[in-house]
Amino acid sequence: MNLAEWVHRNGRRIPGGPALASGAQVHATWADFSRTIGSLARSFIERDNLRPGDRVAILMANRPEYLEALFGIWHAGCVAVPVNSRLHRDEVEYIANHSGARLVIVDNDHIGDAEHAAGADKVLQVATSDWLDRCDYDRVAVQDRLASDPAWLFYTSGTTGRPKGATLTNRNLMAMSLSYFADIDSIDENDAVVHAAPISHGSGLYGLPHIARGAVSITPSRSTFDGNELVRTLQHWTGVSFFAAPTMVRRLAQDPVVAKADFSKLKTVIYGGAPMYLNDLEEALKIFGPRFAQIYGQGESPMTITGLSKAEHADIDHPSWHQRMQSVGRPRTDVQVRVVNERGLDVATGDTGEVIVRGDVVMVGYWDQPDATAEALRDGWLHTGDLGSFDEHGYLTLQDRSKDLIISGGMNIYPREIEEILLTHPSVAECSVIGGPDPEWGEVVIAFVVTTGGFDADSEALDALCLDRIARYKRPKQYRFVESLPTSNYGKVLKRELRQQLLDG
């Protein structure tokens, strides 16, 4: 099983059809796409001495070459390691080293970060003479891979401050794609998917079913996907779908350009990655119509745990519509989902417990982290760390996140990573980081700081420290200097009391 076969099948079936595009400009037909990934694969094997199972990192913003690199890696039998292009260079270096990446494929804007990633033997920059030369190699045969072989290392932030590489196999990605057809949409070569969000994360994963069925993959012509870009896309392409965090949905719905747009060519807006407030969803439905589908998933179970279909969004006359829209939907076709107590027993309907899931979509483990794997995968079930409850009709509502995960603008942020950095400042004696509610981002990062005697601390100094160590979107948006942190009898900081302080103003 090699996912690169999808491209080659379309190359034979619809050779002249558009496969990759930047805005309205076609970058490659399916015949071009098929030929390019076969050529890249030969160059990886002959020039870079890569072998099946070797890891290759991709560090670049969304562009057509991203998908050429991804499927070229798979054609060669290697494992893709897509890296969030917004990460700090030290974080990029960690992922390259931890994954053992033997090659980093990069765009011009991130060449310095890639060269800083000392774990990679080589760096290959797209859209250069070297890249174009590689795209003109004689093609090599698709390398055979097992369904159980790794295909994508999906690095997620870790509670210890280091990201973990969820190992997704060919079987995982195939199951995820088939689940899309079962629960979200049918797709054909007349459709299009726009990568309005990073290909390294949800957009790239949900782009796979579209490639499987011959739809065109579009990267926006500008770095920001706004109302003007959406309108231009709908003027040129048909059957348009895209994946977006609730923050992006809210911004588009409030854009005056969007309010006047013709949505007859818009097929589906898939949202997830953070809570969608009911008022925001109702406003978006007024603007876009019943074209929304919600997903709840994790990198460990890529985009596939529960979902709310377009039909459920459209059923506004149902007496439970408001409650259902505040849930994350019902279990997807290809998984089993349970809510259990601390002993692993199912809780009663309406009671809260931990959400656990199993199915062919669930990762095989974390790359080179056996202890973390054993903690997450127990008795054949993925323990998500999310707390939720089922209602009598099988709709799951998330109550809280047991791992203190902060989701800001659809991006996962873990407090401990930030706390460890703040504690390196000589003026910081103690600190605790939590997420505070925000109407724009869903949540924002807030740091409670206790200073040491004899040292002065200020927000600008702490901000500079964070910006030197982590990605900009992870840094605290507020610093609150306090005399002490609330603790339990065992000395554990009580973050629930800090959250209550926020609510109390």
Give 127-165 pLDDT, tens digit per residue: 999 999 999 999 999 999 999 999 999 998 644 458 899
* CA proximity to 33, closest of 52, 3, 59, 11: 11
CA 184, 188, 190, 191 dihedral sign is positive
Instruction: Specify the pTM.
Output: 0.85
* 3-state SS class at 391: coil
Residues 447-462, mean pLDDT to the nearest whole number: 83
- Provide the percentage of residues in the chain whose pLDDT is more than 90: 75
Q: What is the mean pLDDT of the chain?
A: 92
Q: What is the pLDDT of residue 403?
A: 63
DSSP string of 15-74, one letter each residue: TTSEEEEETTEEEEEHHHHHHHHHHHHHHHHHTS---TT-EEEEE--S-HHHHHHHHHHH
Q: What is the pLDDT of residue 491?
A: 55
- Euclidean distance between CA atoms 54 and 96, whole angstroms: 12
What digits encode the pLDDT tens for the residues 273-313?
Answer: 777 878 889 999 999 999 999 999 999 999 899 999 999 99
Whether residue 180 is predicted with pLDDT greater than 60 in this model: the reply is yes
What digits encode the pLDDT tens for the residues 28-63?
Answer: 999 999 999 999 999 999 999 999 999 999 999 999
Domains of the chain in start order, with CATH, are 409-503 (3.30.300.30)
Query: CA-CA distances (angstroms) from residue 30 to 34, 43, 421?
Result: 6, 20, 47
For residues 199 and 205, is the Cβ–Cβ distance under 8 A? no
- Euclidean distance between CA atoms 441 and 434, whole angstroms: 14
Q: How confident is the model at residue 492 (pLDDT cuts 50, 70, 90)?
A: low
Whether residue 119 is predicted with pLDDT greater than 60 in this model: the reply is no
Residues 461-469, mean pLDDT to the nearest whole number: 93
